[in-house]
Structure 1
Amino acid sequence: MLPEDCLSIILSFTSPEDALRASLVSSCFRLASDSDLVWERFLPSDYAEIVSNSVTPLMFCSKKELFQCLSDSVLIDGGNKVFKLEKSSGKKCYILSAKELSITWSSNPLYWSWISMAESRFCRVAVLRTTDWLEIGGKIRTKMLTPNTTYGAYLIMKISERAYGLDLMASEITLEVGNQVCSSNVFLKHGEGSKEMGNLGHKKEGSVREREDGWMEVELGEFYSGEKDEQVKMSLMEVKGCHLKGGLLIEGIEFRPKH
């Protein structure tokens, strides 16, 4: 017997997943759950800026349709980043392209090449031709992410069939937030990676695993995005072996909520 506006206000305090479920209860609930009042609450506060930075104009007639657009992944910032809303919670996810990362000697064609791949989200991915110094780094501000959320940072990559030297020595993966540093070691190879725990800060475990999109990923660490804006830095390094390695493809680094 509650008015539609009251139902909409109540649903706005739930989650996108709960609102969609509620729409199946009755026509009254469906109308209330489709309200802009509900989906405005689920959208991030900076959604207008994200929409304006989209490479391809977004077509929507309601806040619910906008949420659905943003939950399907959107290329932003000239095609160098991917933004996505988690469908169940509305929390932000980002992928920084390889062009947004710091990759040692990536501008030298003797060591790295930049190619297009049909299965990539970006126009170019970085391909390691050969090097004895592998160092890949990235950074993000916590203000870009959903506050009060535990995030994981993941290096998205592939290992070619002709790869060599990548699993001769472990690579060190490190994540730093303020004075907090965690590190571990991982061997870059197909399937589950071997792990060796590091000694800096609290210990985290790294491994190589398959993704649903056909790529592979290494978790570089996790962090908490509180109310305070902080810079998060992460890296993967293998610089001590002084042996040649090649065959690694880098698409970018993803930041997504952990559950």
Structure 2
Amino acid sequence: MACLENPSALLPPCLFPRKKTLVPTSESGDDHEKLLPPDYQEILKRSGSQVNSWTKKEIYRNLCDGILIDGDRKFFSLEKSTGKKCCLLSARELEIIWENDNRYWDWIPSTESRFKEVVHLKEVWWMDITAAIPSRMLSPETNYVACLVVNFDRGAYGLDREPWEIKVSYRGKILSQSRQNIACNVKEGVDPRVALQIKRLHFLHRIKMLPNPPSEPDIKYPCRRDGSQWLEIELGEFTTEGDDGEVVINVKETSNYNRKTGITIEGVEFRPQHGHTH
């Protein structure tokens, strides 16, 4: 049986800003002002934090740790080394098909999330999720990656039977489209990378029998976030060109009416492509 020679080389970076209490530091330093984004004061106002007495260094350090904004529906932070903007949209900020129908989805409180609640899939046959963010919430002329932040139940079912279709758009123009298989339900002790390799071999065997075989989907491996129960699935990359326009990420699997259950969604994160270090 074929196997992956170096599966770890295919994993996306597992870099995750840790949740910390906003505590002013005793040091000051105006050098940090040049790393602050031009709209940092507006962002602070959207957090409701009491920051009038903070120095520029205190503001920068607390923004690097991250703050909740817009009614606690977004988690905004800065990349420490560059001052580039990062933003995690909560599940409430996403468009999820049938999200408010409790036959299909449950909104549940979470102590493991940055947000007060996350959404858990009970059962659907169609999966369709859209994340949209104004590009002014991100740094201009910067390469970004978008990641879906999730967790899978032990009994997750149907989410890996067909490839997910992922589309990245910016200013109304489609930048990329891909089909990705995701490992979400493997037996105890089985490496999910090996499980997906087996699934790939099965796929290749099946399409040999078809007169017009479909293209093989990309294989992406969910990656455990550092110190967290959450996994991240890399959705796509893009480059911002300015502070106007909107970035839209759509994830769906509607090609086959198979039952899907057992995923919990925290949100979608946008961060500089080269990593988000703290």
Separation of aligned partners in 2, 1:204 and 1:153 = 16
Residue 69 of structure 1: SS of its match in structure 2? helix
Q: Which residue of the partner structure matches residue 146 of structure 1?
A: 139
Moved more, 186-195 or 163-172: 186-195
Shift of 1:59: 7.2
Q: Which residue of the partner structure matches residue 273 of structure 2?
A: 258
Q: Which residue of the partner structure matches residue 78 of structure 2?
A: 85
Q: Which residue of the partner structure matches residue 259 of structure 2?
A: 244
Q: Which residue of the partner structure matches residue 185 of structure 1?
A: 179
Separation of aligned partners in 2, 1:238 and 1:57 = 44
2:76 matches 1:61: no
Residue type matched to 1:165 in 2?
A: G
Separation of aligned partners in 2, 1:234 and 1:94 = 14
Separation of aligned partners in 2, 1:67 and 1:254 = 20
Residue 78 of structure 1: SS of its match in structure 2? coil
CA shift in 2, pair 1:66/1:154, >3 Å: same
Separation of aligned partners in 1, 2:74 and 2:49 = 13
Residue 250 of structure 2: SS of its match in structure 1? strand
8 Å CA contact retained: 2:182, 2:220: no
Structure index of larger Rg = 1
Equivalent positions of 1:90-239 (< 5 A) are: 90-177=83-170, 178-190=172-184, 191-192=192-193, 206-212=220-226, 213-227=228-242, 229-239=244-254
Separation of aligned partners in 2, 1:230 and 1:238 = 27
Separation of aligned partners in 2, 1:231 and 1:78 = 21
Shift of 1:227: 2.5
8 Å CA contact retained: 2:180, 2:218: no
Separation of aligned partners in 2, 1:54 and 1:152 = 24
Shift of 1:164: 1.1
Separation of aligned partners in 2, 1:255 and 1:110 = 30
Shift of 1:73: 1.1
8 Å CA contact retained: 1:147, 1:226: yes
Residue 47 of structure 2: SS of its match in structure 1? coil
Residue type matched to 1:231 in 2?
A: E
Residue type matched to 1:72 in 2?
A: D
Residue type matched to 1:210 in 2?
A: R
8 Å CA contact retained: 1:174, 1:183: yes
CA shift in 2, pair 1:129/1:59, >3 Å: farther
Residue 154 of structure 2: SS of its match in structure 1? strand
Structure 1 unaligned segments of length 5 or more: list them: 1-32
What fraction of aligned residue pairs are identical, expressed as a percent? Answer: 38
Shift of 1:57: 3.2
8 Å CA contact retained: 1:55, 1:79: no
8 Å CA contact retained: 2:63, 2:78: yes
Q: Which residue of the partner structure matches residue 45 of structure 1?
A: 38
Shift of 1:119: 0.5
Q: Structure 1 residue runs of 4+, over 4 Å off?
A: 192-196, 203-206
* Larger relative contact order, structure 1 or 2 (CA cutoff 8 Å, min sep 6): 2
Aligned length, in residue pairs:
222
8 Å CA contact retained: 2:181, 2:219: no
Q: Which residue of the partner structure matches residue 9 of structure 1?
A: none
Separation of aligned partners in 2, 1:222 and 1:61 = 35
Structure 2 unaligned segments of length 5 or more: list them: 1-26, 185-191, 204-213
Separation of aligned partners in 2, 1:40 and 1:172 = 41
Separation of aligned partners in 1, 2:163 and 2:257 = 12
Residue 57 of structure 1: SS of its match in structure 2? coil
Residue 111 of structure 2: SS of its match in structure 1? coil
